[in-house]
Amino acid sequence: MRTGLAPDGGLYMPSDLPELKPAFWSSLHELDFTEIALEMARLYLEDELPVQVLKNVVNDAFNFPVKMHSLTEQHHILELFHGPTLAFKDFGARFMARLFSEIAQHEQREVTILVATSGDTGSAVAHGFYKVPGVKVCLLYPKGKVSRLQEMQMATLGENVTALEVDGVFDDCQRLVKQAFLDEELNKKLQLSSANSINIARLLPQSFYYAFALGELQKKGMDSPVFSVPSGNFGNLTGGLLAMKMGMPIHTFLAATNVNNVVPEYLKGGEFIPKDSIQTLSNAMDVGNPSNFVRIKVLFGSSDDPIRSHIKGYSYTDEETLEEIRTVKQQHNYLVCPHTAIGVRAAKEYAAKQSAGIPLVTLATAHPVKFRDVIVPETGQKIDVPERLAVWLKREKLSITIGSRFDEFKEFLMTT
């Protein structure tokens, strides 16, 4: 958890994937979110932290609601945007921050967190780790390719949080972070770790809300849902696969992307061929070489057929995304961000070819207010900015601009 990237450049995975008993999965409707989270976290962390400490971590990290909104009797939206930064990344970032805080109390060496972000990861990590003792955070985001609100949430904090505005695309940011983890000189001087989805500790809490969604469906007499997951770096979907491997009954997964469709093309029978990312309205999903695809391969024994059996791929253009935003507002009087719109459209396309009765759950990844510049012109509905977000728009931007060369990034890390 503390190193993030493995020494050979690969990503860490649990050596064993423990399972919870069927009685746990069938009784989810009786448990609240923190109770579900504690039971699932204990499988991986009870040897590292006393149960009471882990319980405190869970209760403090997840001190905000998780809600299910029903578009129809069959199709439900799991709202994951009610945390401090109004994005689903709050789950992983806040959980990780509190784990690192516990570690910092027992170790003397400061940890430096490196994060590449194409959107909400940065703000969630920035706020999750803000002023955490013993931890410095360095965020890398592509210049001009995140929304102003996303940028101001992460680039105005200061203290132990530094935001680097990289002259490039998200893939450049991710490359710089990976190179840093493999640089021997850097790692001798700094204790480096990560807080985005290349770190396995970010993925574990993302499995918790899949179980919560099943519990909400059980209250409606439903079971074994289809999950439609807006996907970029594929950490969110990998969290769902972890839940499935832990014993959770799931019908199938839908990997819903924008035109950065490397994985959907593979799922339809093609080769996995990384490409340069393309900028879209759903910017957090603008990833041309998803890091977590290798984890998906490992979870299925590197066999293509089981992957394609459990995951179906869908991809949509900006025009189709905007059309779906309008349609959901017109038909259901409900606002969705561009990422969530892609998930909703994939769920509807899948359902149109299936027999009725299978419950669908689309993961809503960000509050509509974070993309009001896109949504308002399409729907005509004003979206007020909550005061807890508006305050960041009034602050001074503190980011530092750098190029996309590794030597420049390394020098920055070595001298700060």
Position 1 scores a pLDDT of 45
Position 28 scores a pLDDT of 98
Q: What percent of the chain has pLDDT over 90?
A: 65
108 and 206 inside one domain: no
Signed CA dihedral, 340, 118, 170, 7: sign only: negative
Choose, from 21, 55, 67, 89, the residue flagged as catalytic: 89
φ and ψ of 392, to 5 deg = -75, -25
Position 106 scores a pLDDT of 64
348 and 239 inside one domain: yes
Q: What would the mean pLDDT of 169-179 be, rounded to a whole number?
A: 91
* Domain with 179 in it: 89-198+393-415
Check residues 11 and 174 and name the one with the higher pLDDT: 174
251 and 143 inside one domain: no
Q: Quick check: is 8 in a domain? A: no
92/113 Cα distance (integer angstroms): 14
329 given a catalytic annotation: no
Q: Taking a C-beta distance cutoff of 8 angstroms, is the pair 124, 146 a contact?
A: no
Q: Taking a C-beta distance cutoff of 8 angstroms, is the pair 381, 335 a contact?
A: yes
- pLDDT band for position 129 (50/70/90)? confident
Position 9 scores a pLDDT of 53
Give the least confident one: 40-44, 93-97, 255-259, 318-322.
93-97
Q: Quick check: is 398 in a domain? A: yes
Q: Quick check: is 33 in a domain? A: no
Residue 241 has pLDDT above 70, yes or no: yes
75 and 220 inside one domain: yes
Position 148 scores a pLDDT of 82
Domain containing residue 316: CATH number: 3.40.50.1100
Position 2 scores a pLDDT of 47
Indicate the average pLDDT of the chain: 90
175 and 63 inside one domain: no
Number of domains in the chain: 2
Check residues 240 and 357 and name the one with the higher pLDDT: 240
79 and 167 inside one domain: no
Q: What percent of the chain has pLDDT over 70?
A: 93
326-358 pLDDT, tens digit per residue, is 999 999 999 999 999 999 999 999 999 987 789
366 and 406 inside one domain: no
Signed CA dihedral, 340, 344, 349, 353: sign only: positive
Q: What would the mean pLDDT of 228-239 be, rounded to a whole number?
A: 95
Residue 17 has pLDDT above 60, yes or no: yes
- pLDDT band for position 198 (50/70/90)? very low
Q: What would the mean pLDDT of 160-168 be, rounded to a whole number?
A: 94
Q: Quick check: is 162 in a domain? A: yes
